[in-house]
Chain A
Amino acid sequence: QKEVEQDPGPLSVPEGAIVSLNCTYSNSAFQYFMWYRQYSRKGPELLMYTYSSGNKEDGRFTAQVDKSSKYISLFIRDSQPSDSATYLCAISPSGGYNKLIFGAGTRLAVHP
């Protein structure tokens, strides 16, 4: 079983739609949860960072963590064509210099 599972998609939605991206993980010791956006042939950029369970909102993006279910989500409201990218979830067991474990990434296409 992979430590982090993420549906690779692709996911195609119309502009303005609400997008839901999800990951599941296997180890309950993981405490830090991140979402990265990666455009083609570029390095990933951090979108959202959360610690422990709960929600975190930043503009059109909301990150949700449910540690009891080992399930993390990223919601994108009012999606735009510029949101078209690959979204990677990443988890870490603790803070500091710890390696991140990435999901496979979900390719999202938002069409006008």
Chain B
Amino acid sequence: GAVVSQHPSWVICKSGTSVKIECRSLDFQATTMFWYRQFPKQSLMLMATSNEGSKATYEQGVEKDKFLINHASLTLSTLTVTSAHPEDSSFYICSVQFTGTNTEAFFGQGTRLTVV
């Protein structure tokens, strides 16, 4: 079964509004989650690392005030795209990695955001 649940799977919003995307780790506690963005026919680009109970770590070039990340519990991280614009339209994917004998990452099903 799914290890990571992401919601919603798609959303259309008006320019200037904010959109919240949820990422839940099912059955496992995740102190760290990752948020990626993927434009059509391009690879996944890491946006930020979400840390439970502390501030997220953003990749270079990603506006932290525009992409708000909250990791309030060990099973939930949220990404809020604030004041969305058409250029923010993309496929947003979260992932969870677990320590242990490997560094396997599990991905959510992704959220397709369209800003009109």
Contact = CB atoms under 8 A, between A and B. Distances in A.
Interface residues of B, number: 28
Interface stretch (B14-22, B66-74, B78-86, B103-111): B103-111
Interface string B31-43: 1101000000111
B109 A97 contact: no
Contacts of B112: 41
Contact of A46 (B45, B105, B108): B105
Contacts of B108: 43
Contacts of A36: 107
Contacts of A90: 105
Interface stretch (A60-68, A74-82, A98-106): A98-106
Given A41-B110, A95-B101, A107-B41, 4 more contacts: A43-B110, A49-B103, A51-B102, A100-B46
